[in-house]
């Protein structure tokens, strides 16, 4: 299973120099403010409301996004988190990547009842299936099958069918 991203080549300077051609500056400022407030927000219902209302994310009921989680500032609307999922402390979820000769965008889909350990990084275009467990400190660089337990950098399957 690989990542599903859309690729956009750039002709001159690296793609980060083209950032405000890809996303409006005002959107980035608003998203940054909401994400920073949410990173310190101790009230889960309020945090999920902010994500849904101002970032246009899909966030399932009873999902818990821990303190210091960093969501994609440019394209948070491309992140979907299922029901009763836990996103661990200081995790980063990206829906974009700016490279030298291109930038890439990809939806991040996190299923229901997923457990993501602290300090994990999830790259664009990744789908994490229902009931999966992601070990702390993992670089999620490809899809994770439902019920799997994965961990490490590079990410390895630890068990095919995990139980929470």
In CATH, what number is assigned to the domain containing residue 22?
A: 2.160.10.10
Give this prediction's pTM.
0.95
pLDDT at 12: 86
Please write the tens of the pLDDT for every residue from 23-37. 999 999 999 999 999
Q: Could you tell me the pLDDT band of residue 135, with boundaries at 50, 70 and 90?
A: very high
Whether 61 is in a domain gets the answer yes
- Contact of 100 with 15, CB cutoff 8 Å: yes
> What's the Cα-to-Cα distance from 148 to each of 41, 48, 156, rounded to whole Å?
30, 26, 10
Whether 48 is in a domain gets the answer yes
Q: 11-20, 41-50, 73-82, 97-106: lowest mean pLDDT where?
A: 11-20
Whether 99 is in a domain gets the answer yes
- Which is the catalytic residue, given 47, 78, 96, 104? 96
Give 103's DSSP letter: E
Nearest to 103 by CA among 32, 25, 22: 22
pLDDT at 163: 57
Q: Tally the domains of the chain.
A: 1
Whether 149 is in a domain gets the answer yes
96 given a catalytic annotation: yes
Whether 164 is in a domain gets the answer no
Mean pLDDT of 9-38: 95
Whether 1 is in a domain gets the answer no
3-state secondary structure of 49: helix
Whether 63 is in a domain gets the answer yes
Beta strands at 96-98 and 102-105: parallel, antiparallel or unpaired = antiparallel
Whether 127 is in a domain gets the answer yes
Query: How many secondary structure helices (H) and strands (E) does the chain include?
Result: 3, 17
Mean pLDDT of 86-97: 98
Residue numbers of the domain that contains 134: 6-159
pLDDT at 164: 55
């Amino acid at each position: 299973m690989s990542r599903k991203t859309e690729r956009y080549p750039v002709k001159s300077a690296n793609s980060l120099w083209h950032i405000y051609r890809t996303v409006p500056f005002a959107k980035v400022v608003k998203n940054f403010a909401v994400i920073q407030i949410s990173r310190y927000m101790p009230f889960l219902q309020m945090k999920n409301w902010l994500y849904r209302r101002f970032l246009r994310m899909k966030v399932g009921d009873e999902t818990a996004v821990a303190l210091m989680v960093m969501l994609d500032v440019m394209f948070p609307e491309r992140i979907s988190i299922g029901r009763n999922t836990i996103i661990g402390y200081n995790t980063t979820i990206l829906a974009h990547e700016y490279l030298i000769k291109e930038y890439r965008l990809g939806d991040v889909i996190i299923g229901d009842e997923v457990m993501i350990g602290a300090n994990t990084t999830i790259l664009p275009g990744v789908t994490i299936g229902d009931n999966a467990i992601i070990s702390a400190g993992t670089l999620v660089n490809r899809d994770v099958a439902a019920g799997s337990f994965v961990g490490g950098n590079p990410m390895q399957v630890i068990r095919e069918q995990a139980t929470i």
